[in-house]
Structure 1
Amino acid sequence: MKIRNALTIASLSDAGLVRNFNEDSVAVDEDIGLVVVADGMGGYKAGDVAAGMATMIVGNELKAQLGEGRSNGNPVSAEAIRAAVNRANQSIYHAAHNRAQFQGMGATLVMALFHDDMVAIAHAGDSRAYRLRHDKLEQLTVDHSLLQEQLEMGLISAEDARVSHNRNLVTRALGVNQNIVVDVRQERALPGDIYLLCTDGLNDMVDDADIELAMVSLQENIPLLVKQLVIMANDNGGHDNISVAAIRVDRPFPARRGFWGRFFSAWRRG
């Protein structure tokens, strides 16, 4: 059984109502259970290029890593995910510093890699991952942003944070420096779970409570869910590009064996 038979995946990317150009990028590879969402920065064309590079390079790198793992028996670890994101980071960084039209470009990124009964979540920046389990929504990532740092230090209240002008000042992004720190977590994925990856064009416009309500109401129709979330963001102003990917775990993944068994077994031990 392929991984695609265990998941229902839908994604949608929209320019919103204010921006004339969509700088987000979404990539889905159902065969390996990979979804990548990136939010480009740097203005017309530059941000689009950075986001496209991020999703393409991370996808290609991980697919190559998985192929190598199957052929030579070497496990792929969380470090392989970090290495894939760092490869994308370096490519964006060098393009931004060597071509005038791409100067200042960068991208935030969030990704999910599914297999066996596990999911790996990685992110850099303020693009987010959520999980709906037993009709309860949980944010799985912590924003790498100035606003989040202010919240953690108690310098600003949650109420003031909702209207802060610092909402979009990120402290990590691909392409800004030659190296990037990538947060990676892994957890068991249960049948019935719905994972949501999004750019800040969604969560800046739609409260978590309303995201939860939409996910609970439309969990049986994942394509309609992503459409509804984009509509809700636009109804609330659509001030930014909006990208959403939803992944529902429909049944247990293929039994752990061979490459993937070594991958996740090594991860649990390490």
Structure 2
Amino acid sequence: MRFVIRSDVGKKRSVNEDRAEVYKHSDEVTLAVIADGMGGHNAGDVASSILVEQLADSFKAVVSEPDFRNREFRKEWLHEAVLEINQHIYQSAIENPSCKGMGTTLDATLLYNDYCLICHVGDSRVYLISDGSIEQVTKDHSYVNALVESGEISQEQAEHHPQKNLILKAIGSEKAITPDFIEFPVDEHSVLLLCSDGLSNKLSGNEILTVLEKAENLEAAGDELIRQANDRGGEDNISLIIMSEMSGEVQQDVDR
């Protein structure tokens, strides 16, 4: 599994509150995490850092256990780890006034051989690119997406809605959290893209697909996606992870 990480502060923000990391245990097991923090005075940076670091620690502690080969065990582990981290961030926000209201989105993507498990909270996204098409496999936990699903507004209206960035669910924002879990098989031709809304608010799925198809390799694709998001305003932090078996060297470029 090859991967590229890009995280850019954007053109308007002074602090990058996104975190994007990949933890590769072996050729068979990889964990990728995108977290987009929010709330308080730089507390979004605190929330996303806590989430990624604690999830990484939990993964490293459990990945070598024989039970990790079991699909249900992996899902139960990821669920319990996220619930514990949610409690930690929630309590930290209560105990530290400067962190009041902090929270973070989460897309944790666990690849085990040819099977993908995603734990999703918030409006960061995971896309699956396969057979010349792109599919958004996560559902935004956002106010605008709720309006679209209820039929109150169209998808086109959602793109320009004034409350587009209002999310309904985040890690640490409430005492209890119910993540979405998505599971599906992948093959050697599949490409996974994890990204914060700094990218998905600027480029449509088809525009992302075009960049991936035209790029010479994963690194070039990551750089071009960041460039285009910044060219269209770059009002938010922009983070992405591209994962594929096909091409590109393992590379990381993170602008804190």
TM-score by length of 1: 0.86
Aligned to 1:29: 23
8 Å CA contact retained: 1:27, 1:56: no
2:12 to 2, 10, 18: 18
**Letter aligned with residue 209 of structure 1:** N
Q: 1:21 to 1:89 in 2, by over 3 A?
A: same
Deviations 1:51-108 (A, max 9, x none): 0111111122122222334599996231221111112111111110101111111000
Counterparts of 1:53-92 in structure 2, within 5 Å, are 53-69=50-66, 76-92=73-89
| Cα deviation code 1:19-48 (max 9, x no counterpart) | 111100112112230100000001442100
Tell me which amino acid in the other structure corresponds to 1:37. I
Q: Distance in 1 between matches of 2:74 and 2:48?
A: 24
1:227 is matched with: 223
Partner letter of residue 222 of structure 2?
A: V
**247, 254, 267: which one pairs with 2:243?**
247
Question: Any idea what SS the aligned residue of 1:80 has?
Answer: helix
Question: Residues of 1 paired with 2:55 and 2:81: CA distance?
Answer: 5
DSSP 3-state at the match of 1:184: strand
Q: Label 1:69 to 1:213 Cα distance change in 2 as closer, same or farther (>3 A).
A: same
Question: Who is 1:107 aligned against?
Answer: 104
Deviations 1:136-159 (A, max 9, x none): 111000001111110000111111
SS at match of 2:6: strand
Which 10-residue stretch deviates more, 37-46 or 73-82? 73-82
**Counterpart position of 1:120:** 117
Task: Considering Cα pairs closer than 8 Å and 6+ residues apart, tell me whether 1 or 2 has the greater RCO.
Answer: 2
Structure 1 CA distance for aligned equivalents of residues 206 and 38 of structure 2: 28
Counterpart in the other structure of 2:154: 157
- Cα RMSD between the aligned structures? 1.9
- Tell me which amino acid in the other structure corresponds to 1:12: R
Stretches of structure 2 lacking an aligned partner (at least 5 in a row): 248-256
- Asked whether the 8 Å contact 1:69–1:76 carries over to 2, the reply is no
Q: Deviations over 1:216-264 (max 9, x none)?
A: 112x51112111111110011111000000000349xxxxxxxxxxxxx
SS at match of 1:33: strand
What is the SS of the residue equivalent to 2:110? strand
2:193–2:241: 8 Å Cα contact kept in structure 1? yes
Structure 1: where are the runs of 5+ without partners?
1-6, 252-270
2:233 to 221, 237, 243: 237
Separation of aligned partners in 2, 1:73 and 1:237: 45
- Tell me which of 168, 174, 177 is aligned to 2:165: 168
Aligned partners of 2:40 and 2:99 also within 8 Å? no
Could you say what secondary structure the match of 1:77 adopts?
A: helix
The residue aligned with 2:2 is 8
How many Å apart are 1:114 and its aligned residue? Answer: 0.8
Report sequence identity in percent: 34
Amino acid at match of 2:190: D
CA distance in 2, matches of 1:108, 1:144: 9
Q: CA deviation at 1:109?
A: 0.6
Q: Distance in 2 between matches of 1:155 and 1:72?
A: 44
Instruction: Measure, in 2, the Cα distance between the counterparts of 1:46 and 1:14.
Output: 18
Question: 2:67 touches 2:73 (CA, 8 Å); kept in 1?
Answer: no
| Counterpart for residue 144 of structure 1 | 141
1:52 aligns with 2:55: no
